[in-house]
Amino acid sequence: MSGKLKIRVDQDKCQGHARCKSLAPELFELDEFGNAHEVGDGSVPAGMEDKAWLAQTNCPEIAIEVQEE
């Protein structure tokens, strides 16, 4: 693994399937409608990279972006 990861949920694409919250509860939070947002500024703490990718690859709407910094 090279640099640190940063995640972002595209609010136009998220439909509230909540797969990310289930797979990586430390990285995502849900609003009152059940739509997802990244926690904080989206920086993925060391050791949580696999969970970030798991959330990304299970989002049915392809709403999660993972960037390597």
Partner 1 sequence: MSDSVSMMPEHPPVTDWVNDFDHTDPRWTENPFPIWDELRSECPVVHTKRFLGCYLPTTYQAVKEIAYDTEHFSSRRVIVRDVRPEVQRNAAPPITSDPPEHKPAKQLLLPPFTPDAMTKLEPRVRAICNELIDEFIEDGQCDAAARYTKHVPVRAIAHMLGIPEKDGDLFVKWIHMILELSIKNESMLVQAVQEMTAYFTGHIEHRKAHPTDDLISTLMKAKDKDGNPLEDSQVLGSLRLLLIAGIDTTWSAIGSSLWHLANTPADRDRLIAEPELMPSAIEEFLRAYSPVTMAREVMKETTISGCPVKPGNMVLLSFPAANRDPAMFPDADKVVIDRKENRHAAFGLGIHRCVGSNLARMEMTVAIEEWLKRIPDFKLDPAGKVTWSEGTVRGPRQLPVLFGKKN
Among 5, 21, 42, 55, the residue binding partner 1 under the rule CB under 8 A is 21
Comparing CA positions, the residue from 19, 20, 58 lying closest to residue 39 is 20
Q: How far apart are CA 4 and CA 61, in angstroms?
A: 24
Nearest residue to 55 (alpha-carbon basis) of 66, 67, 40, 47? 66
| Shortest Cβ 22–partner 1 spacing (Å) | 6
Question: Minimum CB separation from partner 1 for residue 2, in Å?
Answer: 22
Q: Does 22 bind partner 1 (CB under 8 A)?
A: yes
Interaction site with partner 1 (CB under 8 A): 15-19, 21-23, 30, 32-34, 54, 57-62
